[in-house]
Structure formats: C-alpha cells, structure tokens
C-alpha cells in the first residue's frame, strides 16, 4: 500500500510539471509557426494526453480484459467533458478574475460535431463487444475525423492569448520543451494510474469500479492538468481543442486498438448500456452548453458540469462480474439415481 501511495503521489507531481510545460511549449510553437492552436490541441496534445488511455486499454485488451479497456474509454470521455471542462471553467471564471471559456462557433461546429459523431459510432459498435472488423472501421473513421479537423486554413491567434513573453521565440527550445512535457505527462499519468490500481486492488474494489472510475480518472489527469493550465493562461481554443480531440482519439483510435489487439465480448452489460448512454449524453450536453453562448460564460456552467460528473459517477460503476457470480444463487442439487449392488443383488441407490 505504501509503494502504491508513493507511485500515485509521484505520478501526480510529474504529471503537473509535465502538463504545464506541454501547454507552454505547444502554445508558443503554434504562435511561432502560424498554426492554429486548435490544431495543436486536437492533434499534438490530443494524442499526447490520450496516450495513457491507449496504453492502459491496449494492455488490458491484450490480457483479455476487454471490460477494463472499454470502461477506461467511457469513463475518460465522461470525465473530459464534465470534470475537466467544469473545473477548467471554474478556474477561468473565479481564480483568474472572470476570464471565461469562449470558443468560436467554427470550432464547435467542426471539432465538436466530430467528437459527438465519434462517440455515437463507438456507442453503436460496442453494443456486442468489439471485433477486429469493427477496429478497422474505427481506425478508418479516425483518419476521416482527423482529415475533417485539419481541412481548413491555419490562422494565427493573438499573441496576447498565447505567448506570455516579450522575448523572441526559440522554436528549437520550445520543441524540446513540448516533447519533454509530453513525455513527462504520459509517464506521470502511468505512475499515477499504477498506484491507483494497486490501491484499489489491495482494498478489494471490483474491476468495474477500477475501469470506469479510478483508471479513467487517472488517465484523464493529463487533460485535467493541461486544461487547468490552459484556462489559467486564457487559451480557450487550446483547452477545448484538447478535450474534443482527446475524446475523438479515445472513441475512435483507442477503441480501435482494443478491438484489434484483444477483441471479445463485454462481460459487464453496464458498459454497453447505461454507462455509454451517459457518455453520449454528456458529450451532447457539453456541446450545447458551449454552443448556446459561444463558450462557458458563467461560473455556474462550470459548476453544473462538475455536478453532472459527481452525480453520474455512481451510475457508471457496476458490480464486479466475479462477485456477481459468487453472489448468485446456486442451482438446486439434482438427485442422481445410479445402479448399485445390494445384499439381494442389484437395486437402485440414490446419490
């Protein structure tokens, strides 16, 4: 237990430092290269912060635990657009003096719609588990989604929104900062997840709880730290692009990895039932909330998203299938009639 606690605390520390440097480096590179921060958020940071989900889900599927892999995807998507977005909006509105999360309608129409479509496709294909042909479909859909996101002219955002310095930007330095920050984010997330899973197992929690809550929360920590830092710096495009891009990566690419590496049915029916419905519902609700006001313009909207996460969490958790089987009533004993010798010859005895 002590080692698991050290891994968890150390992972969170590495994660916080790495995510902060990742946001700084990616933002400055976006400005220096004339690339839209939404592209950096959707691709570079979206891929980087989804790497923990891909690794955890892929390894789980390879070990034959499709439930853990799918649960990690569902729980992470739920956390991104409720917990992470809600906390980021509160940080922007309260801790930074009313700096609200404002997003252009073009971003919501493109990245938001792609993210919702990805969640719907994942919901459709995961109903009976995941097969390899479904993995091919999800992989092809991921390529189309990335093409749709990138198929537009890049633009330069205002320097005041992206670069908090008056010195010239050294692109080589910022590239190294971004790569190291990305690596630290992934490593820190893995350490934190490993510690959380070990703690959960030592106290006897079921795999359903681990997959949908602790593991999903752990693999969403890069998005959480990166989102808070982006909100603190006023980079709304980078923040929303990161979250929408991460959910698209999770729904399409990570699920494709699960289907291709370890296809199989789902034991826990909640994963293809209520839990995935909640995931789709939160994706649509967050999009509508941002779209109606060009972003999150009031502090209570962030608080509402955070409350949605807390309320939905118990419904995401289901009983451990092994415990359910142990608790199920056993079938009545059947009396077997066998032919056995007795004192007078052969007779019927019951066993």
Q: Is residue 346 part of a domain?
A: no
Tell me the average pLDDT across 173-185: 86
Residues 90-122: tens digit of each pLDDT: 877 766 555 566 666 666 777 788 899 999 999
CA angle 293, 295, 298 (to 5 degrees): 75
135 in a structural domain: yes
**Is residue 52 in some structural domain?**
yes
Domain span at residue 141 reads: 2-318
Whole-number Å distance between alpha carbons of 114 and 36: 18
Confirm if 28 and 191 have CB atoms less than 8 A apart: no
> Which residues contact residue 317 at a Cβ distance below 8 angstroms, ignoring those fewer than 6 apart?
208, 209, 212, 213
What CATH number is associated with residue 133? 1.20.1420.30
Residue 333 counted as domain residue: no
Mean pLDDT of all residues in 48-55: 76
Contacts of residue 121, defined as CB under 8 A and 6 or more positions apart, other chains included, come to 137, 138, 141, 251, 252
Q: How confident is the model at residue 69, as a pLDDT?
A: 84
Q: Other C-beta atoms within 10 Å of 97: how many?
A: 7
Overall number of domains in the chain: 1
Average pLDDT rounded to a whole number, residues 8-24: 77
User: Confidence band (pLDDT; 50, 70, 90) for 324?
Assistant: very low
Q: What percentage of the chain has pLDDT greater than the value 90?
A: 15
Give the pLDDT of residue 325.
Answer: 43
Phi first, then psi, for residue 248 (nearest 5°) are -65, -45
User: 314 in a domain, yes or no?
Assistant: yes
Q: What is the mean pLDDT of residues 262-288?
A: 87
Asked if residue 328 is part of any domain, the answer here is: no
| Per-residue CA distances from 177 to 28, 170, 284, 311 (Å) | 10, 11, 35, 38
Phi, psi of 345 (to 5 degrees): 135, -130
For the cut 80, the answer to whether the pLDDT of residue 265 exceeds it is: yes
- pTM here is 0.74
Instruction: Pick from 26-30, 239-243, 272-276 the range whose average pLDDT is largest.
Output: 272-276
pLDDT band at 318 (very low <50, low <70, confident <90, very high): low
Q: How many residues does the chain have?
A: 351
Whether 327 has a pLDDT exceeding 50, the answer reads no
> Is residue 343 situated within a structural domain?
no
Instruction: Please report whether residue 344 resides in a domain.
Output: no
Q: Is 8 left (phi over 0), alpha (psi -120 to 50) or beta?
A: alpha
Structure tokens at 327: 């608790």
Has residue 246 got a pLDDT over 50?
A: yes
């Amino acid at each position: 237990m002590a080692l698991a606690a050290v891994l968890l605390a150390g992972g969170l520390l590495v994660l916080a430092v790495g995510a902060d440097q990742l946001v700084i480096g990616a933002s400055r590179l976006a400005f220096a290269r004339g690339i839209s921060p939404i592209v950096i958020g959707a691709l570079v940071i979206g891929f980087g912060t989804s790497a923990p989900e891909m690794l955890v889900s892929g390894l789980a599927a390879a070990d034959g635990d499709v439930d853990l892999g799918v649960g990690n995807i569902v729980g992470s998507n739920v956390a991104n657009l409720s917990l992470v977005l809600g906390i980021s909006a509160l940080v922007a509105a309260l801790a930074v003096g009313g700096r609200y999360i404002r997003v252009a309608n073009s971003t919501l129409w493109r990245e938001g719609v792609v993210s919702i479509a990805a969640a719907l496709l994942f919901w459709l294909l995961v109903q009976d588990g995941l097969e390899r042909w479904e993995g091919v479909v999800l992989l092809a859909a991921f390529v189309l989604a990335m093409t749709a996101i990138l198929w537009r002219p890049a633009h330069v955002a205002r320097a005041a929104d992206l670069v908090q310095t008056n010195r010239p930007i050294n692109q080589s330095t910022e590239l190294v900062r971004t790569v190291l920050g990305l690596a630290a984010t992934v490593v820190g997330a893995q350490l934190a997840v490993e510690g959380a899973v070990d703690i959960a197992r030592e106290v006897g929690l079921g795999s359903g709880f681990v997959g949908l809550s602790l593991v999903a929360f752990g693999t969403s920590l890069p998005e959480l730290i990166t989102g808070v830092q982006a909100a603190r710096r006023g980079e709304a495009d980078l923040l929303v692009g990161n979250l929408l891009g991460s959910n698209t990566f999770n729904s399409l690419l990570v699920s494709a990895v699960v289907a291709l590496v370890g296809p199989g049915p789902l034991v826990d029916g909640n994963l293809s039932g209520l839990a995935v419905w909640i995931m789709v519902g939160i994706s649509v609700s967050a999009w509508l909330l941002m779209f109606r006001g060009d972003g999150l313009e009031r502090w209570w909207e962030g608080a509402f998203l955070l409350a949605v996460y807390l309320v939905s969490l118990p419904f995401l958790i289901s009983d451990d299938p092994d415990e359910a089987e142990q608790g199920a009533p056993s079938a009545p004993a059947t009396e077997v009639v066998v032919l056995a010798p007795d004192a007078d010859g052969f007779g019927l005895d019951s066993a």
